[in-house]
Structure 1
Amino acid sequence: MKHFIVIHLFAGSLIVFLLASFVLYLLNNNSCAQETAIIRCTLKALDIKDLDYLSYTSQATIIDKYDFELINTYAFEENKIDSKYLGEITLIPVKEDIGITKETINTNNRVQVLILKDTKLRKIDFTNLEQDLNNFLGTEQSHFGIYLYDLNRNQALEINDNQTFPPASISKLPSVLLTLRDIDAGKYSFDTLVTVKDELKHTNWDTIGQYPAGTKLPLRTFIDAAILESNNSAHYHLHNLLGGLSVVNPRTQNELGAQTFFLDPHQATARSIGTVLIKLYKGEILSEELTDYMINLMKNTGSDLRLAIPGGVPNGVEVANKVGFLFGGIEGSTYSDSAIVYGEKTDYVLVVLNDKAPDYPYGYLKIKDISEIVYDYLN
């Protein structure tokens, strides 16, 4: 980013004086260093000839408990101001400031300037977190696959992330996402009527199965039920609408970027599921409208589907998740969860797969604890 500068050149002694004063100020005023995420900037006017408007660049030092790193700030004022020293400002960066943001602010001598903030999160060392998780899993480590991706730092932590596990109802994600992609493409609409079929019912009393064969329901009903309730009958109808395994498996690989995420064979890796959620978060799968629609569904799943990863974060933290569990089946008892977590400091994707869960209703407890460990470390 270029520094724009003013018409009147600073005397060298004035610059040295200001910088020295600022350094002394910071050295003598560190009482808040361990308490708050505060960035203090002394604004100075610098200038070069042939520029016809005034601008200011800041010298900033980070006093930062919360890992936000201010790369640079630039303050612009279109009207010429005689004051060389604009005073001190205090910037408190939050998650929403990541990237380049702007803010109009008054300095302490009543000069209003426009601040451009270039903010990022410092890289984090996942070594201790990985060790904590491995210690927590103990002898059960081989039964878990974990994939964590910090969406603001673009850093990943992986434990058995390429080991395959039965995803259970997390496998509904590809069917729903591919259906929404077809809506984006104009092949269907939410109002497209889908015929209920007996052979595609999981039970005769769920949201879809309660209707007699031949009943026509809007496509939206199947999409919503598959996510909000993890409804199997809805999923079977969507899967059939898409063309079955011969269509869904290759589309999952080619369009969703998941190389190992299948209904048949019923297996997935934590990394593949995480890849899908990362792409969903970044808007790389659906239009903005349908991305918001899908994530909103995942944020509002039934309370019995929000015990694991959502259960491990503080109240008020938004989590868009898709859980999958199976008790007493041919694959044994499994409990897995996948989520986008909108944390206080950073957003992240967390996928925890498992192939040996305690019997109902205790399968979620281990993942809830993992979620809590991860959240506390990142936030």
Structure 2
Amino acid sequence: MASLIRKGGRKRGFIYVSTFFFLTCTLLASWFMWKQNQISSLQFIVYLNEREDKTVVAEEIDYSQLEQKIKSYLYRFSGTYGLYVEDLATGATLEINADKSFPAASVIKVPLILFLYSLAIDDRIDLDEEMVLEAGDIESGTGILKTEAVGTTYTLRQLAQYTIEYSDNSATNMLMRRLGRENFYFFLRLMGAEIIPLGPGKGNIMCARDAALYLKGVMALRELHPEYGQEVLQYLLNSKFDDRIPAGIPKGIQVANKIGTQVNVVNDAAIVLLNGKPYVIAILCSHIHEQEAVGAIAQISKLVFEYHRQYVPLDIFTEEEGISN
């Protein structure tokens, strides 16, 4: 009899544990689906989908000659280069290894800020909300917060500015802590990214096409919400790093760019606000010598700009404008 009671108790215990486990998993799954639905319904995501459905104007730029010129130029260098260029007026594209996976480095910070501002548009987050700098947020490398005292407070808007203008790693960590890494990755999927990062220590990766997608997202944000869109665009225009794509563009032309750098990796992605012919350009490089790649990106940028320049009325340029090398 005692043996039967013990067996019955163990069975009931197993049933209780199994039921608790099942209910916990169900609640977690429901919560996760609720979070995904909240992100899926963002005005920005809905707008992107509607925007994609619009018919693109027939292509008027033939990039074939430019593509051959760039390929011939890159042939002399070691390493791997990925390039994506898109004329925003027509949708014409130039692609070289555009879908190849590269370390994203700090270029991934652009869609993080898009996610933040998308939430702000829907009043799901307040850009004036304050966060406290924690010891775990501080990271070496680029940025200005790494030397600030733990306990210092910043608004989300300030963190966004530092993340883009100074490529601040610590500010990025704070925003990631606030927004949630998995939420951010799901946002990337909804944007249409082909390659999603695998997570810390597993691979912060993207392709040149996705890098350009995020820059186009900034322009879409400006269409949807001019104030917030211009704010994010201004962060990019104020970037403290101009030795890559901007170095190949005349000084009178605005370039909104975001660089990325790590060991053997040099990246840059930009919106070139050429009057009447704005375009996005993303160049990702790996297994390279840093200074060599920086120079190569500037030269490719110059070639792309000069090619676009032939489609723009000459009277928008001044005699003082020159292309730096």
* Fold shared per TM-score above 0.5: yes
Between 1 and 2, higher relative CO (CA 8 Å, sep ≥ 6) is seen in: 2
Instruction: Output the amino acid matched with 1:239.
Output: M
CA 294–166 in structure 1, closer or farther in 2 if over 3 Å, else same: same
Distance 1:141 1:339 in 2: 24
Counterpart in the other structure of 1:262? 197
CA 152–272 in structure 1, closer or farther in 2 if over 3 Å, else same: same
Partner SS for 2:147: coil
Counterpart in the other structure of 2:294? 364
Question: Per-residue displacement from partner, 1:26-81 (whole Å, max 9, x unpaired)?
Answer: xxxxxxxxxxxxxxxxxxxxxxxxxxxxxxxxxxxxxxxxxxxxxxxxxxxxxxxx
Distance 1:317 1:141 in 2: 31
CA 291–284 in structure 1, closer or farther in 2 if over 3 Å, else same: closer
Distance 2:141 2:103 in 1: 26
Distance 2:141 2:165 in 1: 19
Distance 1:192 1:267 in 2: 30
Distance 1:142 1:363 in 2: 9
Counterpart in the other structure of 2:274? 343
CA RMSD of aligned residues (A): 2.3
Asked if 1:159 corresponds to 2:90, the answer is: no
Identity fraction in percent:
26
Q: Which structure 2 segments of 5+ residues have no match?
A: 1-56, 310-325
Which is richer in helix?
2
How far off its partner does 1:149 sit?
Answer: 0.2
Instruction: Output the amino acid matched with 1:318.
Output: Q
Tell me the matched-pair count: 250
Distance 1:286 1:269 in 2: 26
Question: Per-residue displacement from partner, 1:116-151 (whole Å, max 9, x unpaired)?
Answer: xxxx99712111011001000115487011000001
Q: Tell me the TM-score normalised to structure 2 length.
A: 0.72
CA 286–262 in structure 1, closer or farther in 2 if over 3 Å, else same: farther
Distance 2:282 2:193 in 1: 14
CA 204–342 in structure 1, closer or farther in 2 if over 3 Å, else same: closer
Asked if 1:281 corresponds to 2:219, the answer is: yes
How far off its partner does 1:215 sit?
Answer: 2.7
CA 284–225 in structure 1, closer or farther in 2 if over 3 Å, else same: closer
Distance 1:212 1:257 in 2: 38
Counterpart in the other structure of 2:6? none
Counterpart in the other structure of 1:184? 121
Q: Which structure 1 segments of 5+ residues have no match?
A: 1-119, 328-332
Distance 1:121 1:162 in 2: 23
Distance 1:126 1:203 in 2: 41
Select which of 48, 66, 78 maps to 1:129.
Answer: 66
How far off its partner does 1:297 sit?
Answer: 0.8
Q: Runs in 1 of length 4+ with deviation above 3 angstroms?
A: 139-142, 203-206, 282-286
Greater shift in the superposed pair: 140-149 or 222-231: 140-149
Partner SS for 1:320: strand
How far off its partner does 1:204 sit?
Answer: 10
Greater shift in the superposed pair: 208-217 or 175-184: 208-217
Asked if 1:196 corresponds to 2:133, the answer is: yes
